[in-house]
Structure 1
Amino acid sequence: MAEFHRITDPADPRLADYRDLRDVQLRKHLEATHGLFLAEGEKVIRRAVAGGFTPRSFLMAPRWVETLSDVLATSDAPCYVVAEQLAEQVTGFHVHRGALASLERQPLPALDTVLAGARSILVLEDIVDHTNVGAIFRSGAALDFDAVLLSPRCADPFYRRAIKVAMGAVFTMPWTRLPDWYDALPQLTSRGFTTVAMTLSADATELEEAVAGQEKVALVLGSEGHGLSSRWEQAADRRAIIPMREGIDSLNVAAASAVACYVTARR
């Protein structure tokens, strides 16, 4: 059972995992150094623990202790009980969901482990916005994709904002970072995937046509600004577009991923 500690001092060193959550650079450094990530809100905390991640500690307002009592009963991590105003002082924002948990990261799995048995995967190149990464994970999980692969410069799926937007899908969707950016797509082709780059290139065909009849598909999505690099665009087996009304050439990458996953899942 979790050990309860009522805290009244926002400078208490035991709250270090939860400090200054709005400072992205500080959080990246702290979380990477200490091998942790944060889950926010009851549902996300439940999904993180159910996903096999070990809690380091919990931070919550008194009203959430009973609500999460079953989760707290399964852990011996400390639970820091604080007033909501104090939680806001520590984290730097209003914790409207009332509860946070700090959990231990696990080593990223090998590429072959993630791809074992997979038929539909998402491949992300340099998508740096945590909200977009979280939304893409959520769409992939909802539409029965099997895994997500990220280029080295993609945003961290375990950053608090990404986890929150994904509603915990990052805990159940297998994912890893690609060890080799340059030849990543040819390597997927050699593993039997048809790589389909979402792009506005002149030779792009409609997505439904590009994925029709393909047993294993890797949808490839590029960054929020300029899209895919020329290397990945040309290395893909096929290039595809989502047909749109005249005068509108593209969607936000998160919205495009939802449409693309839906079309691909129906192939």
Structure 2
Amino acid sequence: MLEFVTDPDDPRLSDYTRLRDTELRKSLEASRGLFLAEGEKVIRRAIGTGYPIRSVLTTRRWLTALEDVLGDATVYVASDEIMSGIAGFQIHRGALASMERLPLPAVETLLKGGGRRLLVLEDLVDHSNVGAIFRSAAALGVDGIVLSPRCADPLYRRAVKVSMGAVFSIPYARMDDWYAGLSQLREAGYQTLALTPDQRATPIDAVKTRDRVALLLGAEGDGLSSHWLEEADEAVCIPMSAAAMAAGVDSLNVVAAAAVACHGLMRAK
């Protein structure tokens, strides 16, 4: 159903205008379970993986590209100028969709799902980093992701955009208890490997892995907490070249490290 809008303050667009404010977005997520998907490819992936669509905000020239997946959803059509005013910036991918969240599985449910390789993210609060890590994990064969309680929301618009929709294709769950969270992994039979820049640790592609492995990644800058480093079964590292170490480069940023480590983990025996 097409509805044309000419005013960025139109109350019909509250999903889009109110979700721009971070604190209000958090409140709406809790009470109404919404998130925004940006661009044709991401919207298609969200719909294709079962997320219900509430409405779409787009311009005339993008209607044809999306019409085959929108069904009877409400579609708000606006000019480019109105669209930018509503979104707060130029939408280069042509469309925004308001989507309903699906219930997150409990960590126990995810662990019982039979996945052999998991990532566990501790306190990564940057949405772009979380989105990029989801994209790498999906590309490199990771079976699922566990988030600590304070990790950034994978369905925040920036995370969804950076992941190119990978947040919809890889299952994830959020811990309730950070302090005892790793015990759940051990009880489910996972070997826990803590990624650290410490070059004394076991190289990631040389570690002897069990059938089920969970790789722990810490926040940019601070890395993993001392508690999780101590709780892990083994510390692992990405070997740096001698030249890099001599130049003071002892680590990669968390996104690059996640991609390299996931690749190494897939090769590890």
Query: Shorter-chain TM-score: what band?
Result: over 0.9
SS at 1:30 equivalent: helix
SS at 2:206 equivalent: helix
**1:47-62 correspondence runs (5 A):** 47-62=45-60
Matched, 1:243 2:244: no
Matched, 1:207 2:204: yes
For 1:259 and 1:130, locate their aligned partners in 2 and report how far apart those are by CA, in whole Å.
20
Residue 20 of structure 1 contacts residue 92 of structure 1 at CA under 8 Å; is this kept in 2?
no
For 1:92 and 1:146, locate their aligned partners in 2 and report how far apart those are by CA, in whole Å.
35
Match of 1:15 in 2: 13
For 2:68 and 2:50, locate their aligned partners in 1 and report how far apart those are by CA, in whole Å.
15
Match of 1:96 among 86, 92, 97: 92
CA shift, 1:218, in A, is: 0.4
Match of 2:218 among 213, 217, 222: 222
The count of residues paired between Structure 1 and Structure 2 equals 262
**1:79-90 correspondence runs (5 A):** 79-90=75-86
Match of 1:30 in 2: 28
Taking structure 2 as the reference length, what is the TM-score of the superposition? 0.93
Match of 2:38 in 1: 40
Match of 1:232 in 2: 228
Match of 1:155 in 2: 152
CA shift, 1:82, in A, is: 0.4
Matched, 1:129 2:126: yes
For 2:29 and 2:89, locate their aligned partners in 1 and report how far apart those are by CA, in whole Å.
18
Match of 1:146 among 143, 148, 157: 143
Q: Structure 1 runs of 4+ off > 4 angstroms?
A: none
For 1:163 and 1:36, locate their aligned partners in 2 and report how far apart those are by CA, in whole Å.
13
CA shift, 1:225, in A, is: 2.2
SS at 2:236 equivalent: strand
Match of 1:252 in 2: 253
The one-letter code matched in structure 2 to 1:155 is A
Structure 1 unaligned runs (5+)?
A: none
CA shift, 1:26, in A, is: 3.4
Match of 1:175 in 2: 172
CA shift, 1:216, in A, is: 1.1
Identical amino acids, percent of aligned pairs: 56
For 2:253 and 2:24, locate their aligned partners in 1 and report how far apart those are by CA, in whole Å.
28
Structure 2 unaligned runs (5+)?
A: none
Match of 1:264 in 2: 265
